Structure formats: structure tokens, C-alpha cells
Amino acid sequence: MGAFLGFQFIVTFYLRELRGWSALRTAAARVLAVVAYVLFPPVGADWSYTAMFPTLIIV
């Protein structure tokens, strides 16, 4: 869980500082990632790349 939260921090930092996105644009991108994760949850115990792919498309 800690690694996932760290990833969220790094992505936000990357979008704001290195890509030059505004706070609103960064928040919209993060909200879309959450929506994609909720709509396409991983199925079963297999947390493979294909199960996480819909979330990665948005980001």
C-alpha cells in the first residue's frame, strides 16, 4: 500500500513540476485514473499487467 501511495505522489509531482501542468489539469488526470480503476477492477487474485492496463491508459 505504501508503494502505491508513493507512486501517486510521484505521478502528481511529475505532472506538476516536469510537465508543467496546472493543479486543475493534474487533479482531472488523477480523477480519471481513479474512475478507470473503479470501472475496471482487477478480477481474481492475479494482479498482472493486463488487469491493471485500463488504469495505465488514463495516466
- Global pTM? 0.58
What pLDDT digit, counting tens, does each position of 4-52 carry?
A: 778 888 999 999 999 999 999 999 998 988 887 777 766 665 666 666 6
Q: Under a CB-based contact definition with an 8 Å cutoff, are residues 29 and 58 in contact?
A: yes
Residue 23's Cβ-side half-sphere holds a number of Cα atoms within 13 Å equal to 0
Rg (alpha carbons) of the chain, rounded to whole number: 12
